[in-house]
């Protein structure tokens, strides 16, 4: 089979899996077996595309023309390859985790959950492999629609309200900002095809470039740039596996992936020179402001949600610095954040499943009852802070190096300040868990670890967070291809 033929196969696998999930709905073991098998097959398919891309091949396929010279087309380049590996790899682990979580908490509508999850992964692969802006926009919107039932999974009024905020902000920013940006790009460039180095004319007016950049940055609402970030904490009403999907596997990663893709493949670093200081300032404000909110949040998932808002803007800030090293850092941070944050959300769900605790103030001594969970949480926290030996150190090193290379002291100051804030809201959790005595409630209601699938999944992602620090070769090689670094 040719490499290009693997692209539609990768898109079809989760769709076929979704049909199998529905057909197996009456037999939970079979349904979940279909889910896991589909996830493994998808990862195997995506992995087969990796070596050709590393070797310089750019497989492409056109499905059909939606309008004349506006095809729905796919082309795999290094950034999309990395995103597809993240999404397909973490779907395997998240599926394993979901089995333990959904059963352990006796969740309703489990077939719908697994169905929508499979559809979300298919949409994510469409975003990752999109060959032009039109295809990216279509699958980006599809991802919003198929994840809405997951956000409102609980069916409560709170869940419905969170779902309305989620859908309203993401669809609103797309229609008001993202779609006009795509249309205007087609108008001035004559194409929507992605090309390394950009497609906009070299002599384009700087004012027009800034306006178009603003339309893209605020239109890609999944990147959670303030003030269009509220959908993300609102979506925390969803079950923890959905939170993991939103924050690590698909939705927010589709946001920052799209931001980076647009900057590198639509504008190009040269065209953007002198036009991104405002974006550094807004992303820097988002990083600091979200960190301050996280610092004061007692609810664990809310703290993690605002941590995500902050960490996403690391990618935007790094891309806006316009240094080759910072673009490498932004690319690596997509992978590092995915592994670290999914570990943190897995741990939060493990705590809830085993002890039904949701607040940071309730976690005194829990590390002695749940050592696997809280050790994994500690590894994820180290990665978010940017300390070795966790993956976040590697991406932050390149971001800082790019900021120094460009003498961008505002960006450097933001990174230093946010690192201290990250430590300020993660380290106290670990101190509570391991160094404070057990609470009276914990003594009265003893518990151990969550079900084995949950503990196994969070152990795998924690190990992955460490492995990416010691063995960053593949994501680093893909990232360097974006900026022609040796």
Asked if residue 269 belongs to a domain, the reply is no
- pLDDT number for residue 154: 67
Asked if residue 419 belongs to a domain, the reply is yes
Number of domains in the chain: 1
For the chain, 486 residues long, give each residue's pLDDT as a single digit of tens.
788 999 999 999 999 999 999 999 889 889 889 999 999 999 999 999 999 999 999 999 998 887 778 899 999 999 999 999 999 999 899 888 888 777 766 667 778 888 988 999 999 999 999 999 999 999 999 999 998 888 887 667 887 888 888 889 999 999 999 999 999 999 998 899 999 988 998 878 889 999 999 999 999 999 889 998 888 888 776 666 766 766 667 788 899 999 999 999 999 988 898 899 999 999 999 999 999 999 999 999 889 989 999 999 999 999 999 999 999 999 999 999 999 999 998 899 889 888 888 889 888 888 888 999 999 999 999 999 999 999 999 999 999 999 999 899 999 999 999 999 999 999 999 999 998 887 666 555 567 788 888 899 899 999 999 999 999 999 999 999 988 765
Burial grade of 244 (CB within 10 A; 0-12, 13-18, 19 or more): buried
Asked if residue 305 belongs to a domain, the reply is yes
Q: At what angle do helices 206-219 and 277-295 cross, to 10 degrees?
A: 30
Asked if residue 301 belongs to a domain, the reply is yes
Asked if residue 38 belongs to a domain, the reply is no
Could you tell me the residue range of the domain that residue 430 belongs to? 276-486
Characterize 391-407 residue by residue with b for buried, 16 or more Cβ atoms within 10 angstroms of its Cβ, and e for exposed. Answer: bbbbbbbbbbbbbbebe
Residue 331 tokens, joined: 């690319």
Rounded to two decimals, what is the model's pTM?
Answer: 0.92
**Contact between residue 468 and residue 335 where contact means Cβ atoms under 8 Å apart:** yes
- pLDDT number for residue 238: 65
Residue 363 tokens, joined: 């976690």
Asked if residue 175 belongs to a domain, the reply is no
Helix (H) or strand (E) holding 220: none
**Percent helix, strand, coil in the chain (nearest 5)?**
75, 5, 20
Residue 360 tokens, joined: 């940071």
Q: How far apart are the C-alpha atoms of 274 and 282, rounded to whole Å?
A: 16
**Contact between residue 154 and residue 239 where contact means Cβ atoms under 8 Å apart:** yes
List 73's β-bridge partners, or say none.
62
- pLDDT number for residue 112: 85
């Amino acid at each position: 089979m040719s490499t290009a033929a693997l692209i539609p196969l990768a898109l079809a696998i989760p769709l076929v899996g979704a049909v199998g999930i529905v057909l197996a709905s009456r037999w939970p073991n079979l349904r979940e077996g279909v889910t896991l098998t589909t996830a493994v097959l998808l990862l195997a398919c995506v992995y087969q595309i990796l070596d050709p891309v590393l070797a310089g091949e750019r497989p492409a396929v056109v499905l059909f023309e939606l309008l004349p010279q506006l095809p729905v087309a796919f082309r795999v380049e290094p950034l999309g390859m990395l995103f597809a590996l993240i999404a397909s790899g973490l779907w395997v682990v998240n599926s394993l985790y979901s089995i333990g979580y959904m059963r352990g908490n006796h969740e309703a509508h489990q077939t719908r959950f697994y169905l929508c999850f499979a559809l979300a992964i298919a949409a994510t692969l469409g975003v990752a492999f999109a060959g032009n802006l039109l295809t990216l926009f279509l699958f980006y919107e599809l991802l919003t629609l198929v994840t809405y039932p997951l956000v409102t999974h609980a069916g409560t009024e709170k869940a419905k309200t969170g779902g309305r905020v989620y859908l309203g902000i993401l669809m609103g920013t797309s229609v008001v900002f993202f779609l006009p940006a795509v249309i205007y790009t087609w108008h001035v460039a004559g194409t929507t095809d992605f090309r390394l180095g950009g497609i906009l004319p070299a002599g384009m007016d700087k004012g027009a470039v800034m306006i178009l950049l603003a339309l893209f940055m605020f239109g890609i609402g999944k990147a959670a740039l303030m003030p269009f970030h509220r959908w993300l904490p609102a979506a925390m009403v969803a079950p923890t596996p959905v939170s993991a999907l939103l924050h690590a596997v698909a939705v927010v990663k589709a946001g920052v992936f799209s931001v980076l893709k647009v900057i590198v493949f639509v504008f190009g670093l040269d065209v953007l020179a002198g036009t991104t200081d405002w974006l550094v300032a807004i992303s820097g404000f988002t990083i600091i402001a979200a960190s301050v909110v996280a610092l004061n949040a007692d609810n664990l998932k809310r703290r993690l949600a605002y941590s995500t808002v902050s960490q996403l803007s690391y990618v935007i800030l790094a891309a806006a610095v316009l240094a080759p090293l910072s673009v490498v850092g932004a690319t690596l941070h997509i992978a590092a954040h995915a592994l670290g944050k999914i570990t943190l959300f897995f741990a939060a769900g493990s705590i809830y499943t085993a002890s039904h605790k949701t607040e940071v103030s309730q976690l005194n001594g829990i590390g002695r009852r749940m050592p696997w969970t809280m050790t994994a949480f500690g590894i994820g926290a180290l990665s978010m802070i940017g300390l070795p030996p966790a993956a976040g150190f590697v991406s932050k090193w390149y971001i800082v190096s790019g900021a120094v290379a460009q003498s961008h002291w505002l960006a450097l100051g933001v990174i230093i300040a946010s690192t201290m804030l990250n430590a300020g809201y993660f380290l106290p959790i670990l101190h509570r868990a391991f160094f404070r005595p057990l609470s009276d409630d914990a003594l009265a209601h003893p518990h151990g670890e969550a079900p084995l699938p949950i503990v196994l999944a969070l152990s795998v992602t924690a190990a992955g967070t460490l492995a990416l620090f010691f063995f960053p070769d593949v994501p680093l090689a893909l990232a360097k291809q974006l900026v022609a670094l040796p």
